[in-house]
Amino acid sequence: NFFGLLPESMSNSKLYGVELDSVTGRIAKQLYQRASIAVQGFETTSLPDSFFDLAVGNVPFGSFGVADKKYDKYKFFIHDYFFARSIDKVRPGGIIAFITSKGTLDKQNPEVRRYIAQRAELVGAVRLPNNAFLANAGTEVTTDILFLQKRDRVIDIEPDWVHLAATADGVPINRYFADNPEMVLG
């Protein structure tokens, strides 16, 4: 899911949504009749770059890629692709707030985090308990809510959160959560 917001003022905000599932997309169209909801894959949308003030979503998780010529060379998994493409869609200074699996921040290979950090600043993150979605979605997965702010240009930077650290028990964890344990709720 991708929901972009282009506020002229909060009361005059323009909402845009993308939903792959046709039933969910049709429900969204009924619930948000003043919004522009595209029922199609995010990769096939023609949303303009540097347009949205805010992007909010629950990125799909998976160890498979998405065919998109602009990003194919990076060999992103689907959740990483959503971050990369969303960064391109928000304007400089725009905010991205995404729910993602812990794999985004905790995967062993730091390349995707480096890609993100060069294009957006990590404003903050919250790690949710692994049962946060058990009642609603019937799933037990550790999830994070990430807040990013798009930079005005790509810069060569590698902040601490690009790397992993370890808990006192030796469990690998993103340096952000090692340095900010109060942001881990479970």
User: What distance in Å separates the CA atoms of residue 36 and residue 49, rounded to the nearest whole number?
Assistant: 17
Query: Taking the model in full, what pTM does it have?
Result: 0.88
Which string of b and e fits 71-108 if b means at least 16 CB within 10 Å?
A: beeeebbbbbbbbbbbbebbbeebbbebbbbbbbbbbe
Looking only at the bridges linking them, the beta strands covering 52-58 and 90-101 are parallel
Which tens digit of pLDDT belongs to each residue from 34-77? 899 999 999 999 999 999 999 999 999 888 999 999 999 999 99
Which tens digit of pLDDT belongs to each residue from 136-152? 555 667 899 999 999 99
Task: Report which residue type is found at 18.
Answer: V
Q: Judge whether 186 and 129 are in contact, CB under 8 Å.
A: yes
Distance of CA 62 to the CA centre of its chain: 13
Q: What is the per-residue pLDDT for 134?
A: 47
- Give the CB-side neighbour count of residue 91, counting CA atoms within 13 A: 8
Q: What is the per-residue pLDDT for 141?
A: 77
In whole angstroms, how far apart are CA 61 and each of 57, 66, 76? 12, 12, 12
For residue 1, pLDDT beyond 80: no
